[in-house]
Amino acid sequence: MIELTAAQVAAATGGRLHADPDVTVTGAVTIDSRDAGPGTLFVALPGERVDGHDFAARAVEAGAALVLAARELDGLPTVVVDDPRAALGELARHVLATVRNTSTGAEAPKVVAVTGSVGKTTTKDLLGQLLTPEAGHESAIIVPKGSFNNEIGLPLTVLRVTAATRYLVLEMGADRIGNIAYLTRIAPPDVGVVLAVGVAHVGHFGSVEAIAKTKAEMVSGVVDGGSVVLNADDLRVAAMASQVAPGTTVQTFGTIPSADVRAEDISVDGAGRASFALRVARAGQDGEQRADVALQLVGPHHVSNALAAATVALRLGVPVADVAKRLSSAKALSPHRMAVTERPDGVTVIDDAYNANPDSMKAALRALAVMSGRTRRSVAVLGAMLELGDGSRAAHDEIGRLVVRLNIKQLIVVGDEAYHIHEGAMQEGSWGSESIFVPDLDAARAMLDESLEPGDVVLVKSSLGAGLAELGDHLSMVKTTEDNNK
């Protein structure tokens, strides 16, 4: 973070100062006392299980210069605010605005924000790989690892901004109306991206229409004269073009002919990796530019994510040829997202257990079917898709039926909340032991350790709260008996 005195932190957050006003924060901002060090700012967040205020003294002992808290803390340099979480957002907004206002022209950081029901993290990771060469060095680009996309994670990412930052790539998540609007007030994007409108978190939103309304908050959240990048293949997203403010540029991506940046001649190899011709319309000119892309990411659904990242990079001045080359060498960076492990015993593990909704579940199952082909046994280990509300039973039932239609050879359904996947498979025509329900991770682990054979391709997929990421880690680290005996 840029250096701020205690007085400046208090002014930015509307807090009451209980410290030397000249005490200076010279390090990072953290909510974990274990990460505190010399010059850091520790934010004491109250939680369901632990209260950050109880760890403030430990943070100061480790070197923290200042604490942002909801109450006075005896003997500790503190800025007291009504709500530390909201104050964290205000501080991030102040820091980014300060850096933007004190930078000029090309030196000012460009903020790119991505939202959508699926694909946010992958698109964010791709953008990092497309833009890092343009930044000149890795320290000039900020791309959070994992999904720091909420009212805590996003401000912590924004607070890493310094005068040296050229690109700030953010992921913006939502589980209720107003979330994206709040996040864009903290970090108004120069380029805002909307990937898709699906049914993720529909249990909170109440309807897909409410989800679309929330994602559209990105369109009105960009800076004056900024750009919006929209998925032309998603009718709800494409319709958001009508909501942009005057002076905002709209660019589209997709597979339909009218998209500004589109993929044609898509093919998928035996490893589930897509190749396509990247075609880019040239604004105000006849004809278009073309380059070939061969993705290293597993799953044809990543074509859409790649197109979104390409559209942003092109908007920021990266040549088409460079975009295609960098996309073709880009790797999966975040764990539990279509992470493929080739085990020494010949089993292929696809770990996609970070999150799940009906759209991403279908995409992962189709990738499994492609990768297993006709010669390898396909195994789908599926857990619950959470936060689907009243439509949860029908959504899980539909996934079970799709498993059968894709001719997945073995289905293992884990946990009571996912039971209707098993029910759907049985209703669709699965018989015998083709679909098996197990109550918990231990039962699933024991069954898989006993039954997996060389040549099998196994997919592990669920919402994060269902816990199958732990099973994905286990399966990815299993070694052959021979290896274990060495």
Tell me which amino acid residue 340 is. Answer: V
- List Cβ neighbours of 347 (8 Å cut-off, separation of 6 or more): 452, 453, 454, 455, 456, 457, 458, 475, 478
Q: Work out the pLDDT band at 236, boundaries 50, 70, 90.
A: very high
Assigned CATH for 103-329: 3.40.1190.10
The residue among 183, 179, 186, 184 whose CA lies nearest residue 222 is: 184
d(CA 96, CA 369): 45
122 annotated among ligand-binding-site residues? yes
Q: Work out the pLDDT band at 283, boundaries 50, 70, 90.
A: low
Is the pLDDT reported for residue 284 higher than 70? no
Place of tokens 């501080």: 91
Class of domain 4-85: alpha beta
* 305-346 confidence digits (pLDDT tens): 999 999 999 999 999 999 999 999 999 888 888 999 999 999
Q: What is the pLDDT of residue 484?
A: 39
Q: What is the pLDDT of residue 104?
A: 73
Average pLDDT over residues 354-361: 91
Q: What is the pLDDT of residue 155?
A: 97
Q: What is the pTM of this model?
A: 0.89
Q: What is the pLDDT of residue 266?
A: 97
Q: What is the pLDDT of residue 481?
A: 37
47 annotated among ligand-binding-site residues? no
Q: Work out the pLDDT band at 165, boundaries 50, 70, 90.
A: very high
The residue among 337, 333, 399 whose CA lies nearest residue 199 is: 399
d(CA 271, CA 263): 20
Query: 183 near 154, Cβ under 8 Å?
Result: yes
Q: How far apart are the first and last CA of the chain?
A: 48
d(CA 175, CA 149): 11
Class of domain 339-484: alpha beta
Per the prediction, the chain carries an average pLDDT of: 93
Tell me which amino acid residue 260 is. Answer: D
Average pLDDT over residues 461-473: 94
Tell me which amino acid residue 212 is. Answer: A
The residue among 357, 290, 356, 362 whose CA lies nearest residue 321 is: 290
* 3 state DSSP class of 372: helix
Q: Work out the pLDDT band at 486, boundaries 50, 70, 90.
A: very low
* Long-range CB contact pairs, 267-272, < 8 A, 24+: 268/300, 268/370, 270/370, 270/371, 270/373, 271/298, 271/340, 271/371, 272/298, 272/299, 272/300, 272/367, 272/370, 272/371
Element (H, E) at 68: strand 66-69
Domain extents for the chain? 4-85, 103-329, 339-484
* 3 state DSSP class of 342: strand
Is the pLDDT reported for residue 482 higher than 70? no
* 32-82 confidence digits (pLDDT tens): 999 999 999 999 999 878 899 999 999 999 999 999 999 999 999 999 999
DSSP tag of 109: P
Q: What is the pLDDT of residue 370?
A: 94
* 124-154 confidence digits (pLDDT tens): 999 999 999 999 888 899 999 877 889 999 9
121 annotated among ligand-binding-site residues? yes
119 annotated among ligand-binding-site residues? yes
* 180-215 confidence digits (pLDDT tens): 999 999 999 999 999 999 876 676 677 889 899 999
Average pLDDT over residues 394-423: 97
118 annotated among ligand-binding-site residues? yes
Q: What is the pLDDT of residue 424?
A: 97
